[in-house]
């Protein structure tokens, strides 16, 4: 099981914003797309940051409502941890747990290739366990 398998199943579309977008606009993207993070990219589609729901809440707590008018670049997480398509799901789970990250962009050749959330990983893992269970049942019955 790999990150690539998750992306092949869920798709590779990623909601992105530029660093100049306001926190308010990014929060609207999060809400409208029912997602927990947006990846911040530059004009060359290079990953320069990530903004999560947690970051929005933290910036409101720190700066008050005025943070909503600030550019995303002032509150985004700049040290973005990424994963690769070849990474196994088990390694991905360990990485997410260790980093306490709910979202990891997938990087291929320095460019954004997708994003995986902890929900995607759990969903894929449950489906794999269910498939294994069915195979065992078929083997026993067969």
pTM, entire model: 0.84
Q: Which residues contact 95 (CB under 8 A, 6 or more apart)?
A: 81, 83, 87, 101, 104
3 state SS of 29: helix
Q: What is the pLDDT of residue 7?
A: 94
Q: What is the average pLDDT across 26-47?
A: 93
Query: Is residue 30 very low, low, confident or very high in pLDDT (cuts 50, 70, 90)?
Result: very high
Q: Are 98 and 7 in contact (CB under 8 A)?
A: no
Mean local confidence (pLDDT), 81-95: 94
Q: What percent of the chain is modeled with pLDDT above 90?
A: 75
pLDDT number for residue 124: 87
Angle of helix 3-10 versus helix 89-99 axis, rounded to 10: 90
Question: Per-residue pLDDT averaged across 113-122, rounded?
Answer: 93
> 19: Cβ–Cβ under 8 A, 6 or more apart, which residues?
40, 42, 48, 49, 71, 72, 73, 76
The Cβ of residue 12 has, within 10 Å, a number of other Cβ atoms equal to: 14
142: pLDDT strictly greater than 80: no
CA angle 39–5–108, rounded 5-degree value: 45
Q: What is the mean pLDDT of residues 30-57?
A: 93
- φ, ψ dihedrals at 75, nearest 5°: -125, -5
The yes-or-no verdict on residue 52 having pLDDT over 90 is yes
């Amino acid at each position: 099981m790999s990150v690539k398998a998750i992306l092949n199943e869920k798709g590779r579309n990623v909601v992105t914003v530029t660093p100049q977008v306001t926190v308010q606009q990014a929060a609207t993207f999060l809400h409208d797309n029912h997602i927990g993070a947006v990846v911040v990219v530059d004009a060359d589609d290079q990953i320069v940051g990530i903004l999560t729901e947690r970051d929005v809440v933290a910036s409101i707590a720190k700066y008050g409502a005025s943070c909503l008018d600030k550019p995303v670049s002032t509150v985004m997480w700049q040290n973005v941890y990424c994963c690769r398509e070849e990474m196994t799901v088990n390694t991905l789970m360990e990485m997410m747990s260790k980093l306490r990250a709910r979202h990891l962009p997938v990087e291929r050749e320095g460019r954004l290739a997708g994003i995986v959330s902890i929900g995607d990983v759990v969903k894929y893992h449950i489906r794999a366990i269910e498939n294994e269970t069915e195979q065992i049942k078929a083997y026993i019955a067969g």
